[in-house]
């Protein structure tokens, strides 16, 4: 968010003070469509990239794909076990990232941890994983760690809220660095936590070091959870709710994914940009919103025979023009 922001509203003097403050102005939600294309805010577009080979290879891949931002798993996301970061690889990663001027880079928590779990063993391992991930991100000079909020597994939302806030508190007090923890909205699948902004607000309110916590908005998850981001009105309402309940200043990244599932289907199935229920028209709306354009935009779209990251990146760049 360190770039010059062109969307400042000159009729709102209190919005001019700083880009971060301008985000908080309700009235700035209403004018995204009226901007001539010559004044479009430049976007920061990237994708979730592989670290195969060595972790610094992710930066090479980001450069090859002309990404202005990117996200990685810093380790195998499908297991509990992982190796400590290799010092030399870490050094290479940090140096390559600095040289590339790509900023910010994101780390995503692995799949297995469940911060909302009341199962003692799983919960302990989940908190340990979060602690490790915050530390690893710090060493890699990655400023943000994105996490899912887990599932209460039938124990009820109240248990889930308590467990997640407690997990975040434990991890944030165990790791003293500049890394921010970003809570990602979910599709609101059965027992899952964080399907609504009310849920996420509730979780944040239980966290002590709130200045180290932000949110990640996933378009597929939001749409599947019932937030109709396809239309200018629906998107405005959604962003308005984030602002009212959480504060748009906490929104640090958007995961750009189309959705296989319909609006409110609670189905977490990512689709290629434009080929799902949000569609080309919906993504044009999303990509022309000035608040969205200020944020790093990360693709987590599938890679299959017909479409890959390059295809989706090209699509997003086209639709954002
Ligand atoms: Mn995610
Ligand atoms: Mn996501
Ligand atoms: Zn997802």
Which structural domains are found in the chain, ordered by start?
39-319 (3.20.20.150)
Mean pLDDT calculated for residue range 49-66: 98
pLDDT at 26 (0 to 100): 40
Reported as a pLDDT band with limits 50, 70 and 90, residue 76 is: very high
Of the ligands numbered here, which is closest to the C-alpha atom of 221? 3
Cα 203 to ligand 1 centre (Å): 17
Cα 300 to ligand 2 centre (Å): 6
Active site residues: 78, 108, 111, 148, 184, 218, 221, 255, 268, 270, 300
Reported as a pLDDT band with limits 50, 70 and 90, residue 18 is: very low
Structure tokens of 95? 């140096």
pLDDT score of 4 more than 70: no
* Candidate from 40-44, 73-77, 132-136 with smallest mean pLDDT: 40-44
Cα 303 to ligand 3 centre (Å): 14
Of the ligands numbered here, which is closest to the C-alpha atom of 219? 2
Reported as a pLDDT band with limits 50, 70 and 90, residue 39 is: confident
pLDDT at 56 (0 to 100): 98
Mean pLDDT calculated for residue range 169-176: 98
Reported as a pLDDT band with limits 50, 70 and 90, residue 185 is: very high
Cα 186 to ligand 2 centre (Å): 8
pLDDT score of 12 more than 90: no
Cα 68 to ligand 2 centre (Å): 18
Q: pLDDT tens digit string along 97-149?
A: 999 999 999 999 999 999 999 999 999 999 999 999 999 999 999 999 999 99
Which residues, other chains included, contact 113 with Cβ-Cβ below 8 Å and sequence gap of 6+? 125, 126, 129, 130, 147, 150
Q: pLDDT tens digit string along 269-295?
A: 999 999 999 999 999 999 999 999 999
Cα 271 to ligand 3 centre (Å): 10
Half-sphere exposure of 169 (CA within 13 A, CB side): 13
Considering only CA atoms, which of 239, 172, 185 is closest in space to residue 211?
Answer: 172
pLDDT at 10 (0 to 100): 31
Tokens 């390559």 sit at which residue? 96
Tokens 């995204």 sit at which residue? 32
pLDDT score of 63 more than 60: yes
Of the ligands numbered here, which is closest to the C-alpha atom of 47? 2
| H or E stretch covering 182 | strand 180-184
Cα 159 to ligand 3 centre (Å): 23
What is the phi/psi pair of residue 132, to 5°? -60, -40
Of the ligands numbered here, which is closest to the C-alpha atom of 110? 1
Cα 146 to ligand 1 centre (Å): 7
pLDDT score of 17 more than 50: no
What is the phi/psi pair of residue 151, to 5°? -130, 140
Tell me what the pLDDT averaged over the chain comes to: 91
Q: How far apart are the first and last CA of the chain?
A: 20
Mean pLDDT calculated for residue range 219-245: 98
Helices first, then strands: H and E counts in the chain: 11, 10
pLDDT at 156 (0 to 100): 97
Reported as a pLDDT band with limits 50, 70 and 90, residue 6 is: very low
Of the ligands numbered here, which is closest to the C-alpha atom of 259? 3
pLDDT at 38 (0 to 100): 59
Cα 108 to ligand 1 centre (Å): 7
């Amino acid at each position: 968010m360190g770039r010059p922001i062109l969307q400042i509203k000159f009729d709102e003097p209190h919005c001019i003070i700083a880009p971060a403050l301008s985000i908080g102005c309700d009235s700035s939600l209403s004018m995204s469509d009226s901007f001539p294309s010559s004044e479009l805010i430049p976007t920061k577009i990237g994708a979730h990239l592989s670290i195969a080979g060595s972790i610094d290879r992710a930066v090479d891949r980001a450069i090859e794909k002309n990404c202005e931002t990117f996200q990685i798993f810093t380790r195998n996301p499908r297991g509990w076990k992982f190796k400590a970061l290799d010092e030399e690889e870490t050094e290479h990663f940090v140096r390559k990232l600095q040289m590339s001027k790509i900023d910010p880079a994101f780390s995503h928590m692995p799949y297995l941890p469940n911060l909302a779990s009341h199962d003692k063993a799983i919960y302990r391992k989940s908190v340990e994983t979060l602690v490790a991930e915050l530390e690893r991100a710090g060493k890699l000079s990655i400023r943000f760690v994105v996490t899912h909020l887990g599932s209460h597994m039938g124990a009820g939302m109240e248990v889930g809220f308590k467990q997640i806030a407690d997990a975040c508190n434990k991890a944030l007090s165990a790791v003293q660095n500049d890394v921010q923890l970003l809570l990602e909205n979910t599709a609101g699948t059965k027992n899952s936590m964080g399907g609504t902004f009310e849920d996420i607000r509730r979780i944040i309110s239980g966290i002590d070091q709130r200045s180290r916590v932000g949110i990640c908005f996933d378009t597929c998850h939001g749409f599947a959870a019932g937030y109709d981001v396809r239309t200018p009105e629906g998107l405005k309402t959604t962003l308005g709710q984030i602002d009212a309940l959480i504060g748009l200043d906490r929104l640090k990244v958007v995961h750009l994914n189309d959705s296989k599932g319909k609006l409110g289907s609670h189905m977490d199935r990512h689709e290629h940009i434009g080929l799902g229920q949000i569609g080309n028209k919906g993504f044009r709306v999303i990509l022309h919103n000035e608040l969205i354009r200020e944020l790093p935009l990360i693709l987590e779209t599938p890679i299959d025979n017909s479409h890959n990251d390059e295809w989706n990146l090209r699509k997003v760049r086209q639709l954002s023009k």
